[in-house]
Amino acid sequence: MADELINVTLHVWRQRGPNRPGGFETYHAKDITTHMSFLEMLDVVNEDLIEKGTEPIAFDYDCREGICGTCGIVVNGVAHGPQKLTTVCQLHMRQFEDGQEIWLEPWRAQGFPIVKDLIVDRSGFDRIIQAGGYISIRTGSASEANEMPIAKEVADRAMDAAACIGCGACVAACPNASASLFTAAKISHLSLMPQGQAERADRARRMVAQMDAEGFGACTNHGECEAACPKGVSLEWIARMNRELVRAMVKSETPARTRNR
């Protein structure tokens, strides 16, 4: 429990706004205790910058306990940094060494335009869900919950897929900036559950079409997404999404539902 103090050098991507030129700035974080979280270390750097009258480093965060999916920084080339199954807000400075150089970059993807510094716009993910990542059930019209037994194994697997926090690390880590893991996790979660059957074919077609429309790349099966995912969402869901889409194309008798608007 002894506090160890370290100094690190940060090279941070600074960009004033969308479509503005960006570049790296260097900051020295001194006397950082190893019990600090990575974002707390940035807080300390930022507070110092503010007091000196310089604009602090903009980065996204909220819950700081690894569940809201807001934070995300590429730390030394790895989305969310060096610790496996850990969001950058849960990463602690004991993972770094005294004197280490740390490079901080935003998620880089055409589908995630940079808003400022390390903050990107992930609204593409919301639009993918809007395209069909739901089960249409009118409030109040649900039937008794235990009427439909669902095998434990099915519920557990659906939960594995549903664990995605929508942080976008999969896109950031993918050499093709593909959003396949995110999209596949939601398609799989809902297609596994009996409640999700009615819209199953339509959902797969519409969500994949939206994923493509957002400008994300294609999956070429590198597995980087799975390795970077802080929640361990599995690559197998991508195979499942592919199967769902082929199935939807082969089986369904009508063209995909067009947008309501």
Partner 1 sequence: MELRSYEPTGPIEDRWEKHKEASKLVAPANRRKHNIIVVGSGLAGGAAAASLGEMGYNVKCFCYQDSPRRAHSIAAQGGINAAKNYQNDGDSVYRLFYDTVKGGDFRSRESNVYRLAELSLHIIDQAVAQGVPFAREYGGLLANRSFGGAQVSRTFYARGQTGQQLLLGAYQALSRQIEAGTVQMFPRHEMLELIVHDGRARGIVTRCLKTGKVTPHIADMVVLCTGGYSNVFYLSTNAKGCNCTATWRAHRKGAAFANPCYTQIHPTCIPQAGSYQSKLTLMSESLRNDGRVWVPRKKEDVTKRPEDIPEADRFYYLEERYPAFGNLVPRDVASRNALYVANDGLGVGPLVEGERRGVYLDFADAISRLGEQTIRERYGNLFEMYERITGDSPYQTPMRIYPATHYTMGGLWVDYNLEATIPGLFVGGEANFSDHGSNRLGASALMQGLADGYFVLPFTVGNYLGHVRTLPPLTEDHPDVQTAMQSVDTRVHKLMNAPDPKHAPEHFHRELGKIIWKECGMSRNAEGLETALEKIPKLRDQFWREVKVTGSGQDLNQTLERAGRVADFLELGELMCIDALDRKESCGGHFREEHQEKGEALRDDAHFSYVAAWEWTGNPAEPRLHKEPLTFEYVKPTKRSYK
Partner 2 sequence: MQRALTLYQTTVGKKVVMALSGGIIVGFVVGHFLGNLNLYLGPEALNGYAAKLHSLPALVWGTRILLLFAFGAHIGSAYQLWRRNVSARGSRYKRRKDLATDYAARTMYWTGPILLLYLIYHLLEFTILPAHPGDVYRNVVEAFQNPWISAFYLAGNLALGLHIFHGIFSAFQSIGANHPRYNSYRRDLAIAISAVITLGNVSFPISVLAGIVTL
Question: Hey, which residues between 197 and 216 contact partner 1 (CB under 8 A)?
Answer: none
Q: Identify what 228 binds: partner 1, partner 2, none; CB under 5 to 8 Å per kind.
A: partner 2
Shortest distance in whole angstroms from residue 144 CB to partner 2 = 32
- Residue with smaller CB distance to partner 2, 135 or 239: 239
Cβ within 8 Å of residue 238, ≥6 positions away: 180, 181, 184, 219, 221
Nearest distance in Å: CB 230, partner 2: 13
Report in angstroms how near the CB of residue 141 gets to partner 2 at its nearest.
Answer: 33
Residues ≥6 apart with Cβ < 8 Å to 205:
132, 245, 248, 249, 252, 256
Among the listed residues 164, 192, 190, 200, the one whose alpha carbon sits nearest the alpha carbon of residue 179: 164
Q: Which residues contact 158 (CB under 8 A, 6 or more apart)?
A: 188, 189, 192, 193
**Residues facing 79 on adjacent strands:** 74
188 part of the interface to partner 1, by CB under 8 A: no
Query: Binds 61, which of partner 1, partner 2, none (CB < 5 to 8 A, cut-off by type)?
Result: partner 1
175 binds, among partner 2, partner 1, none (CB under 5 to 8 A by kind): partner 2
Is position 145 an interface residue for partner 1 (rule: CB under 8 A)? Answer: yes
Q: Which residues bind partner 2 (CB under 8 A)?
A: 13, 24, 74, 76-78, 103, 105, 108-111, 173, 175-178, 208-209, 211-212, 215-224, 226-228, 235-236, 238-246, 249-250, 255-256
Pairing, β 101-105 against β 5-15: parallel
Among 34-42, 101-109, 175-183, 233-241, the segment contacting partner 1 (CB under 8 A): 34-42
DSSP 8-state code for residue 251: H
105 to 144, contacts with partner 1 by CB under 8 A?
115-116, 119, 121-123, 125-126, 129-131, 133-144
Please, which residue, 1 or 250, has the CB nearer to partner 1?
1
Question: Of 221, 130, 249, 227, which is closest to residue 183 (Cα–Cα)?
Answer: 130
CA dist., res. 129 & res. 75, Å (int): 28
Picked from partner 1, partner 2, none, the partner binding residue 76 (CB below 5 to 8 A depending on kind) is: partner 2
Please spell the DSSP secondary structure of 109-136, one letter per residue: BTTB-EEETTEE--HHHHHHHHTT-S--
Site for partner 1 contains 253 (CB under 8 A): no
Task: Out of 1, 19, 21, 99, point to the residue binding partner 1 (CB under 8 A).
Answer: 1
Which H or E run contains 204? helix 200-213
Phi-psi category of residue 71: left, alpha or beta, with phi > 0 → left and psi -120 to 50 → alpha: beta
Q: Which does 122 bind (CB under 5 to 8 A by kind): partner 1, partner 2, none?
A: partner 1
Q: Rounded to the nearest whole angstrom, what is the least distance from the CB of residue 222 to partner 1 in the complex?
A: 26
